């Protein structure tokens, strides 16, 4: 098996300081958190940003400040801004970080119930995002919360809107969408073409179970406060790095190795290629 890529989703759009006082919000806090997560073993930082009041924003300049702060702090991991933002944002708001031409960005592949709201991703929006990412030489991570999302992604591929190598993120356990279970992860991954790479995210208390399964199945791992703020039941994680450190131990005990940022670029075919 190839080295395993750990993605740290360090902030998200929904978690608040009321949920966990450890949540990084400002550019400097995000940079410090990303740096420590990378030192612990993360090679991708999935990035959401917040405005001065702590609310989620997709403002290009707020992303620019966070990315610059990360680079100044010494982050060499792949920085992957979200183009999902928060449910209810317009597509014009959401696409803004793509104009900064990051190495990678998330591309959500379908509409779903997201808690009490609807996270809208129709085909025209997805085509628009995929085209914009291709124009800016951004490698997309294809976020799929339901089986139909995988078919939508393959439709984008058939329309020539995606790079040759495809990388998926299977997200399970969002309230209103597909539940996190071994059976559902197996079902979702069996829909994927053989040549792709994939990671998976389990929401809330399901994070660790999904992490264990993906390590055993040859996938990659996503952890972080965006999906889960607890280390164990009732005990908040000290940091994103603490969650990453545990994954590193499990990966090594499972006789797999953890990818460096450069290895992650090779595995994803973005080294000197896509960007
Ligand atoms: N915050 C969710 C509504 C992404 O980053 O691309 C969407 C999300 C997906 O987090
Ligand atoms: Zn996200």
The model's pLDDT over 251-263, given as tens digits with 9 standing for 90+, comes to 999 999 999 999 9
- C-alpha triplet 206, 210, 212: angle, nearest 5°: 120
Token pair in block for residue 170? 């299977």
For residues 171-192, give the mean pLDDT: 98
Q: What pTM does this model have?
A: 0.98
Instruction: Taking each helix axis as running N to C, give the angle between helix 27-40 and helix 60-73, from 0 to 180 degrees, rounded to the nearest 10.
Output: 50
Instruction: Evaluate: CB of 145 within 6 angstroms of ligand 1.
Output: no
CB-hemisphere CA count at 13 Å for 94?
Answer: 25
Instruction: Evaluate: CB of 108 within 6 angstroms of ligand 1.
Output: yes
Instruction: Evaluate: CB of 129 within 6 angstroms of ligand 1.
Output: no
Report the percent of the chain where pLDDT is more than 90. Answer: 98
pLDDT tens digits, residue range 204-216?
999 999 999 999 9
CA of 255 from ligand 1 middle (Å) equals 32
pLDDT at 240 over 80: yes
CA of 46 from ligand 1 middle (Å) equals 10
Residue 273's pLDDT band (boundaries 50, 70, 90)?
A: very low
How far lies 15's CA from each of 125, 187, 189, 191, 225, in Å? 25, 29, 28, 31, 7
SS (H, E, C) the chain: CCCECEEEECCCCCCCCCCCCCCCCCHHHHHHHHHHHHHHCCCEEEECEECCCCCEECCHHHHHHHHHHHHHHCCCCEEEECCCCCCCCCHHHHCHHHHHCCCEEEEECCCEEECCEEECCCHHHHHHHHHHHHHCCCEEEEEECCHHHHHHHHHHHHCCCCCCCCEEEEEECCCCCCCCCHHHHHHHHHCCCCCCEEEEEECHHHHHHHHHHHHHHCCEEEECCCCCCEEECCEECCCHHHHHHHHHHHHHHCCCCECCHHHHHHHCCHHHHHC
pLDDT at 224 over 90: yes
Quote the CA–CA distance of 270 and 66 in Å, as a whole number: 22
CA of 218 from ligand 2 middle (Å) equals 23
Instruction: Evaluate: CB of 40 within 6 angstroms of ligand 1.
Output: no
Test site for ligand 1: of 55, 116, 143, most ligand atoms within 8 A of the Cβ: 143
Which among 150, 165, 196, 195 has a CA at the least distance from the CA of 275?
Answer: 165
Q: Is the dihedral of CA 135, 136, 137, 139 positive or negative?
A: negative
Test site for ligand 1: of 11, 86, 89, most ligand atoms within 8 A of the Cβ: 86
For residues 144-156, give the mean pLDDT: 98
Give the pLDDT confidence score for residue 20 in this predicted structure: 98
pLDDT at 195 over 80: yes
* Protein residue with its CA nearest to atom 10 in ligand 1: 84
pLDDT at 126 over 80: yes
* Protein residue with its CA nearest to atom 9 in ligand 1: 84
For residues 131-138, give the mean pLDDT: 98
Give the pLDDT confidence score for residue 272 in this predicted structure: 58
Spatial neighbors of 167 by CB under 8 A, at least 6 apart, are 139, 140, 141, 142, 196, 197, 198, 199, 268
CA of 86 from ligand 1 middle (Å) equals 6
CA of 52 from ligand 1 middle (Å) equals 20
pLDDT, averaged across the chain: 97
Quote the CA–CA distance of 36 and 223 in Å, as a whole number: 14
Quote the CA–CA distance of 111 and 184 in Å, as a whole number: 18
Instruction: Evaluate: CB of 174 within 6 angstroms of ligand 1.
Output: no
pLDDT at 93 over 70: yes
Ligand 1: nearest atom to the Cα of 46:
5
Ligand 1: nearest atom to the Cα of 171:
9
CA of 257 from ligand 2 middle (Å) equals 25
């Amino acid at each position: 098996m190839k080295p395993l890529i750990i993605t740290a989703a360090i902030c998200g759009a929904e978690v608040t300081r009321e949920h966990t006082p450890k949540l990084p919000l400002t550019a400097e806090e995000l940079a410090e958190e990303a740096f420590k997560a990378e030192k612990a073993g993360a090679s991708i930082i999935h990035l959401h940003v917040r405005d001065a009041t702590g609310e989620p924003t997709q403002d290009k300049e707020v992303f620019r400040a966070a990315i610059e702060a990360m680079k100044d702090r010494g982050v060499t991991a792949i920085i992957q801004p979200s183009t999902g933002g928060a449910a209810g944002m317009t597509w014009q708001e959401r696409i803004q970080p793509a104009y900064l031409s990051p190495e990678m960005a998330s591309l959500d592949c379908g509409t779903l119930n997201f808690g009490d709201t609807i996270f809208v991703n129709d085909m025209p929006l997805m085509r628009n995002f995929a085209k914009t990412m291709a124009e800016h030489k951004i490698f997309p991570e294809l976020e799929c919360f339901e089986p139909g999302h995988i078919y939508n992604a393959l439709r984008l591929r058939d329309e020539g809107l995606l790079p040759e190598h495809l990388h998926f993120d299977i997200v399970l356990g969002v309230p209103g969408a597909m539940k996190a279970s071994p059976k559902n992860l197996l079902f979702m991954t069996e829909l994927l073409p053989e040549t792709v790479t994939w990671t998976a995210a389990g929401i809330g208390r399901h994070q660790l179970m999904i992490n264990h399964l993906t390590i055993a199945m040859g996938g990659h791992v996503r952890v972080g406060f965006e999906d889960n703020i607890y280390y164990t039941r009732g005990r908040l994680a000290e940091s994103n790095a603490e969650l990453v450190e545990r994954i590193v131990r499990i990966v090594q005990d499972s006789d797999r190795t953890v990818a460096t940022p450069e290895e992650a670029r090779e595995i994803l075919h973005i080294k000197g290629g896509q960007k």
